[in-house]
Every structure is written in structure tokens, then in C-alpha cells.
Chains A and B, each alone.
Chain A
């Protein structure tokens, strides 16, 4: 018992506090990568039928051929655009294509893997191949559940407790540079402990573009862990709704040390109030940059969906950040309609690791002739492009809500314009 705690403190917590690495995580990752490579080779050898070469990104190719010919080209013939019975074929096929495979709903469930990564949960399409593989899988289960899980849980407990205790302690100090400095130390240390609690390996790129004070950091959203991934390398003022339970305790403690922006449930519905408070925060150049996820909900990290324009109306400098997880080591996506937060954290802690790349993009400001929506789209493009994600004009809110009628009305309008265009009707 005591030896265990001492080992954890000495090998993990202390280095986290000092920001140094002992190389244990690196060694673990090396072993893991080699094992998964071996498993992939065995799987490919074990497959009896010769398979056609699988494309590198299943998401990009999809399962069916999509015909992207626009309505006008498909339906109109030369100068005649009068109604014909055959026009129905266009809408019919588009409808059936969407039924077989649509661009939107697939983003709300986990990405499919190209090759099995020895986790039961991803074993959908892969069958029994060999005894050796099964043995390795069993060893993997034992390692993950009996060794890694308790270790990670301990670390998470230490990290969260330190966060609450540390920030409450720092919160007692009078406001000033000492308090700010200590607050940053506490936040960074606890964040690092939590990252180790997830066996996180994060590669940060272009650190010179890191968000500055008085700015707004926006990133694509995949999971609640995103915040920890970012705070591992810098200090931010969090923005969000006040929760109950443990989360609420953490929120109340941390806001004493650092001016995070927490909203009551009633306040968050008032868009003007939210914008006003954020504007005040951003105007104060001594305050930490705020962290916002404009998609508003978790997406499965294969695409970036519509950015809500609210964050882009505040003004100030936007620091875009792209986060891309490597699904081979563990699925970071939180499918909130399928798993609650506790199940989700359990799944994360029994994965191999969380591996991700974070790119800090150069700061952006709204141009004179741009409105908030155009600016939001410009930032979104930059993030999608950097992270290798598809850009989708759809709202992440479609996870739960129905699509607005205006989109259907737009389709109807386009079709009508085609029919009426040449003036010859009837």
C-alpha cells in the first residue's frame, strides 16, 4: 500500500509538478506501438481471401459512390428545363444515398478502425485469426483492467484532489502577480497529472502561436478531455455552465484562484449577457485567454461541424487550435447519447492510451467586410485543413434536434428556379 503510493508520487506526481519526464510513458508507448504493428501484420496474414486494397481513410471514400452532380446539371437538358417525369429520379436517388450513408449522422458515432487494435470494443468486423493473437489480447485485457485502470484511477484522484485543494489555497491570497503565478503552477501541475492519468501522449505543434492573454482560443470538440489536453501546455480561462456534483466542486474551487467564466443555467440562455461578460473578460488584457468550443457539442473527430457565431461576435483576436486524436490507441470521442460521463471515463481509462496532435494556428481577426458567420467559417476551414478533418456545413446540434425546414425550402426554391428559368411554362 505505502510502497505503491510512494512509487506513484515519486515516479509520476513529482515529475509532473516540475514539468519533467522520466521516460516511462515513452517506453510504454514504444512497447504498445510494436505490439499493435505485430497484431496488424498477423491480421493481414490471417485473412484467407485476398482482399482488395483497403483505402487509407474509409471516411473519405465512404461505402457507396456518391454522385455530386448538382441539381441543375443532372435535371436540365440543353435549353429545356420543363418538368419531366424523370426529374423524380434525382431526388429519389439522393434520398436513397442518404439512407444508405449520410454525411451527418456518422459523425455522432465513433470512427471505424482500419485494423483491430486489440480492444474488445472495436472488434466489430474482425474475426478470430490465431491463438497467438488471442493470447496477446487476453494479456492486454489483464494489463488494462488490473494494472492500468487502478493506476490511472489513483492518478486521477490525486489530480482532482490537488486541483481542488491547491486552487482553494491559492484563492485565499490577495489578488496580484504572486497569486496569478501560483494559480498557473497549480493548474498546470494538476493538468499534467490528469494527462498521465489517461496515458496521454500529446504532440504540440507551432508553439509560437500559443494563445496570448486577452485572446480567445477556439478548438474543435471531441470530448471533455479536450480541455485537459490544452491546459497541459498553457493556462486558460474556462468558459462553461455551472454543474452540480464533483464538477461543481471543481468549478467553485478553481474560480477562486483564476477568473474562469462560469454561467448559471439561467444566464447561459441569455445570449447578450454571455457575450457581454466574455467581452469584458477579453477587454482586460491581463486576463488569461478564454477557451471556447464553438461546435457546441462533441463530434467524432473526423470532421468539423458548424461553428456557432456567438464566439466570433465578441471581438478580439482568435487563436484557432486543431486537435486530432489517433484512434488506434483509444477512442476519445464522447458519444453522450450512448454513454454517460462515468462510463465514458471508464472506457478512456481502459484504453491503451490517448494519443493526439495539437496544432496552434496563427491568430485571426475579423476582417472589415466579414460578418460573424463568414469569420466563423474562415476559422473553421483553417482548423479543418490543419487537422485533416472534413468540413461540414451542418450543425452539431443535429445530434439531438431536427433539421430546420429552411434547408428543405432552399432545395424547393432551387428546383423551382430551374423550372421557371427559361420562362416557358405550360
Chain B
């Protein structure tokens, strides 16, 4: 599990982000981080911290979302084999990424949703037609049941050869 010193550090970070010192964090508190503000997917990432309809996230929620990025090898030290699947399992990491694409949370990535996310990533530098072709090709390659949308199962299949554990993990130094 997370060590005591790591929790202390993250709590320290949580409070330092809270400029107004009113407890929970708001979206503005995240947007004040320059490196996050310039990230093309910054808004989607920030959104992942806020549950449906809420504008505040407390420390518990903050830790829960960050937990997705714990390295998978941490789980081997955990003794609880019969408990619920840990948030940082490969499957849950993939689910987290899936939710970044699935804008309306209907468990499917539609062509439209993919286009919107692509548009966030490329800005104004690629035309609608080109972007449309990219989206079409991507969906075509991954779509197995022919509904022109990507379900979570299809998403997992496409990424089966990708080292998700390495790409979606953050390691603490101490």
C-alpha cells in the first residue's frame, strides 16, 4: 500500500494546490498548474477527479484518482488477494484511459467522441477531413462487432500488446 511518507507528501501537495484554503479543490486550483494547463488533454484529466455533477474534490477523492497511477508491482506486496480489484490493476488503468475518450460515459467511444478528443490533441493544425479519416481508420481497425463504436472490450483488445503498466504509472523516489 501507499507508504506513510507518500501520503504526507501528497497531502502537503493537496493543501498547497488549495489556494483559497477552503478545503476541497476546485477545477481552478488544478488549472493553476502551468504544466497541466498547457497539456492538450488537461481539461479531460482534471475532469477525471470530479465525480458526476460535482465541483469539488476532497483529499480522499484526490488520492483515489491518483491511485490509478500506482505502479503495479506495489500490489505484490499487498496481502489482500481476495479483496476488490485494486485501482491500479492493468484493467483499471485501461478503464481510466477509456473514460478519457468516452465523453458521455455511455461505455462506448463513438466516432464523434473520438473526433472531439483528437481535436483537443491536435488543435487547429489538422483539417476536419484529415481528422475524420484518422478517426474512421482507427475505429475500423478496432471495431469487431460492427457497431461503428468502440466498447471497452474492443479497447482492451487493441491495446493488448501495449505496456500499459509502464506508461500509466508514476513512481515515487522514496
Contact = CB atoms under 8 A, between A and B. Distances in A.
B122 A125 contact: no
Contact of B173 (A65, A88, A125): A65
Given A408-B40, A412-B123, A85 B35 contact: no
A203 B94 CA distance: 56
Interface string B25-45: 000001111111111111001
Interface string B124-158: 11100010111011100010000000100001001
Interface residues of A, number: 51
A413 interface: yes
Given A63-B9, A103-B35, A416-B122, A93 B134 contact: no
B173 A63 contact: yes
B41 A92 contact: yes
Interface string A68-106: 000000000000001111111111111111111111110
B35 A104 contact: yes
Contact of A104 (B10, B33, B134, B171): B33
B32 A105 contact: yes
Nearest to A61: B173
- Specify the main secondary structure of chain A where it touches its partner: helix
A95 B137 contact: no
Interface stretch (B74-82, B83-91, B159-167): B159-167
A420 B100 contact: no
A52 B3 CA distance: 14
Given A82-B137, A88-B97, A92-B168, A109 B37 contact: no
A394 interface: yes
- Interface size, B (range): 35 or more
Given A93-B168, A426-B133, A98 B36 contact: yes
A342 B4 CA distance: 37
Contact of B123 (A61, A92, A94, A413): A413
Given A102-B35, A104-B35, A85 B66 contact: no
A95 B134 contact: no
B123 A409 contact: yes
A412 B173 contact: no
Contacts of B158: 84-85
A48 to B, nearest CB: 13
B7 interface: no
A6 interface: no
Given A88-B117, A104-B35, A426 B137 contact: yes
Interface of A: 52, 61-65, 82-105, 109, 124-125, 394, 398, 402-403, 407-413, 415-417, 419-420, 425-426
Interface of B: 8-10, 12-13, 16-17, 30-42, 45, 66, 69, 96-97, 100-101, 117-118, 121-126, 130, 132-134, 136-138, 142, 150, 155, 158-159, 162, 164, 167-174
